[in-house]
Amino acid sequence: MENTLGKSLRELRCLYDIARITGSTHITLQERLLEIVSIIPKALQYPEIAFASISVNGNNFKTENYCETDLTLAADILVRGAKAGSVVVGYARPPAASPDGLFSKEERLLLDAIAERLGAITEHRQAEEALQESEAKFYLAFNASPDIMAISKMADGEFAEVNESFTSFTGYSKAELIGHTAGELMLLPFKEDSEKIRQALEEKGRVRVEEVRLRKKSGGIYPVLFSAEPLTIGGEKYLLTTSTDISEQRQSQELVQTISDVSPLGIYILQDDRLKFTNPRFQKITGYSQRELADRELLSLVAAEDSDIVKSSTAFTLQAQSPYPCEYRILSKNGQIKWVMQTVSPIRYEGKTGILGNLMDITERKYLERKVIEYEELSKMKSDLLATVSHKLRTPLTTIKGYSTMILDYYERLGTEETREYLRSIDASTDRLTKLVDNLLDTSRMEAGLLKLEKAPASVTRLIQAVAAEASARSGQHHIITRLPRRLPIINIDAKRIWQVLDNLIDNAVKFSPPGTEITMTADKARDAIVIRVIDNGPGINAGELAHIFERMYRIEQKVYTGTDGIGLGLYICQKLVEGHGGRIWAESTPGKGSIFAFTLPVTGTGKNRQTPARTPETSGGKAR
Ligand code: ADP
């Protein structure tokens, strides 16, 4: 009995001691296991020769007398169901007497109980360590965070902890903050901000990234992105708040915004060929609103003939990484063409690569450039004209001067016929001179926009008949024929000017066709117009020249018809006069066979579209010059 009692007492003491060691605070797991290993042998039947060892998670703890023998008993230490080690008891040598065997049943149960206890201690300790580690990590992150962080009590809002970013941002020390509320320190000066936070907490229990304004100790107010998450520490509810200072970001955004708003350059950002951003100047140049431009293809604004230049200059710049400015035309919303000069560069925008384009409106510059070119052309033309005109004036003047001197010097000796011949030459040269001067005057009047048409109802039939009669009288060497329909409407024209057109065409036909050939004038009624034709049997005009003969001062004479006078203004004047009447003039020709010069005169607005009376109109009474 005494023996049994003694054994139970030893076991109880051992378990009690283990419980005491487990419960004692401020000692490490190692110290605990070392102490436990030293008391285990005392619970065995022969404590004086007993030893013990504990190995757990790679750490071994042994009593001093530990030795390798076969006289051992072991039990596994399980942590969360898995073997984490073992506890072993043993005897250094066989005990003198062991009536219950080397280890009694109770001793086996005791060792199992110890192993279980050790498993629990290890498990608990591991959980504690993990917690401590995560707490340490949290505090490290909390303190080192660049975000402005605080932990405040949910109940009264008092700050329990703030990080370094919080103190350095607000300018308040930890002491000034802890134990106080944001309200007391007026950290949120705007009611709508605190209201926004309060409402989110009430509705969702947290705040997710709201922009609010924080007031620093110095009084300055700065924008931040604010979040708050609930947190329980030691059974008490707290709020972990995080704010990110976005004042610099906001400032640079505002700077970029201002630059883009006031820039004299049109700015755009392109992604996948579509406009993702445009500034007010770009909108002004194109005439479209921001909304109309959003997601639109840039090339849809570019004049079709320039789209290749835009594509290739963009590709080149991006490849060569050096700006390659290009000039192109934009079709603005109201149909105007705007010239722009642009440079592009690669950019990242909203997380994606894109192209940043800058363009300058150079419409004005282009206009001036064109004016300069026109001016240069004009002055060249003027000097050409001067040279031609002086040359052309000289020929008839020489004739006039020559014959008049002859008449004056030899008046007595000249016969009547000779004198008449000389006077005829003087008369013809004077006519040529007059025509030249008239053509020059008409051209300059037309170019100054000063030529006025005085329209009145007139008969084309009679006009043609009169021109033909006069031309026949003038040039006896050609047969001038008219082919006119019986009825033609009266139309509203400046008869003097149409006379001039017909006269010019007949003159050319006479000038360029061989003597004895026919020159025919016809008139026909087309849909809304009368078509008048002057047909000759002259040398004709080849297709290449046909396209140019109506141009100002264009002549073929140098190449083909040397000796004819004229300065290439006749057809140019005819064209302007016909167009002034709302008509059209053109030439058709088969080289070697002859030419047809045709023009239309619209039939409108006389209110007298009746048959031509058989009288000659007043306007055809003389040479319309
Ligand atoms: P010009 O006063 O020098 O004749 P125009 O303007 O009247 O100038 O004519 C321009 C050119 O067109 C002429 O130089 C001539 O070469 C050609 N041309 C005009 N009419 C005829 C025609 N009936 N037959 C052939 N060539 C012509």
3-state secondary structure 552-576: CCCCCCCCCCCCCCCCCCHHHHHHH
Residue 268: which of 277, 260, 259 has the closest Cα?
277
Give whole-number Cα distances, 49 to 3, 12, 95, 208, 536, in Å. 18, 20, 8, 68, 149
What is the position in ligand 1's atom list of the atom closest to the CA of 439?
Answer: 2
**Ligand 1 binding pocket includes 566 (Cβ within 6 Å):** yes
Question: Which residue among 571, 585, 590, 595 has the greatest number of ligand 1 atoms within 8 angstroms of its CB, and so is best to mutate?
Answer: 571
Residue nearest to atom 16 of ligand 1 (CA): 556
pLDDT of the residue at 609: 45
What DSSP state is assigned to residue 509? H
Is 258 exposed, middle or buried, given 0-12, 13-18 or 19+ CB atoms closer than 10 A?
exposed
User: CB of 468 within 8 A of CB of 449?
Assistant: no
Q: What DSSP string describes 442-488?
A: HHHHHHTT------EEE-HHHHHHHHHHHHHHH-TTSEEEEE--S--
pLDDT of the residue at 616: 34
pLDDT of the residue at 32: 87
Residue nearest to atom 20 of ligand 1 (CA): 508
Residue 458: which of 489, 497, 485 has the closest Cα?
489
What parts of the chain have a pLDDT lower than 70?
99-100, 556-565, 605-625
Q: What DSSP string describes 286-314?
A: H---HHHHTT-BGGGGB-GGGHHHHHHHH
What is the position in ligand 1's atom list of the atom closest to the CA of 594?
Answer: 24
Give CA–CA dist 266/252, Å, rounded. 20
pLDDT of the residue at 324: 78
Give CA–CA dist 18/550, Å, rounded. 123
What DSSP state is assigned to residue 325? -
Residue 179: which of 149, 159, 150, 162 has the closest Cα?
159
Residue 603: which of 495, 500, 488 has the closest Cα?
488
* CA atoms within 13 Å, Cβ hemisphere of 388: 20
Report H helices in 335-482: 363-410, 416-447, 460-474
pLDDT of the residue at 100: 67
Distance from the CA of 568 to the center of ligand 1, in angstroms? Answer: 7
Give CA–CA dist 353/194, Å, rounded. 39
- For the stretch 562-608, pLDDT in tens is 445 677 889 999 999 999 999 999 999 999 999 999 999 999 755 54
Give CA–CA dist 224/200, Å, rounded. 16
In 122-259, the DSSP E strands lie at: 148-153, 159-162, 207-215, 221-233, 236-245
Whether the model pTM is above 0.75: no
pLDDT of the residue at 559: 45
pLDDT of the residue at 606: 55
pLDDT of the residue at 565: 67
pLDDT of the residue at 569: 87
**Ligand 1 binding pocket includes 549 (Cβ within 6 Å):** yes
Cα angle: 430, vertex 435, 438; to 5 degrees? 120
pLDDT of the residue at 574: 96
Distance from the CA of 541 to the center of ligand 1, in angstroms? Answer: 9
pLDDT of the residue at 284: 96
User: CB of 498 within 8 A of CB of 601?
Assistant: yes
